[in-house]
């Protein structure tokens, strides 16, 4: 399932997006983990507790934030990446690459620099994957 944002006609830019799955059904993005945490499919219960079934997979997170949460006084409020890493770890995915786009609400220059850094990081990740993709 591929999720994509779409405008739903609100005057507020923050409230004007709603996530849709690839079939066009609305998805509440904070609860989207419910779509992938499936007993027997992505994890299983064992005598020792739950076990992720997606071991050996890699995830690439692209996270956009209005402020900066990777350093400084807002670091203690960083819950986005840590939460997603926790859900992915539960599923067995421990190889997680993160592209952070921070400071998007801190002015046009800061936002432009953040996007440029993110694009450069995406290029590095793509180049890292290129040898494996060519071998497959």
The residues spanned by each domain of the chain are: 1-35, 42-135
CATH superfamily of 42-135: Flavodoxin domain (3.40.50.360)
What does the pLDDT look like over 24-77, one tens digit per residue?
656 565 556 777 888 999 999 999 999 999 999 999 999 999 999 999 999 999
- Tell me the helices (H) and strands (E) count for the chain, helix number first: 2, 7
Nearest in space to 62 (alpha carbons), one of 22, 122, 104 = 122
Q: How confident is the model at residue 14 (pLDDT cuts 50, 70, 90)?
A: very low
């Amino acid at each position: 399932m591929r999720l994509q944002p779409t405008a739903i006609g609100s005057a507020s830019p923050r409230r004007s997006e709603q996530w849709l799955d690839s079939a066009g059904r609305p998805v509440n993005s904070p609860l989207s983990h419910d779509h992938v945490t499936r007993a027997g499919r992505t994890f299983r219960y064992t005598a020792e507790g739950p076990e992720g079934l997606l071991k050996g997979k890699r995830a690439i997170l692209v996270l956009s934030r209005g402020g900066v949460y990777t350093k400084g006084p807002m670091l203690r409020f960083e819950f986005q990446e840590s939460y997603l890493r926790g859900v992915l770890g539960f599923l067995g995915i421990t190889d997680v690459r993160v592209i952070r786009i921070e400071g998007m609400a801190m002015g046009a220059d800061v936002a432009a620099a953040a996007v440029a850094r993110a694009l450069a990081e995406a290029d590095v990740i793509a180049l890292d994957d290129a040898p494996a993709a060519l071998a497959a």
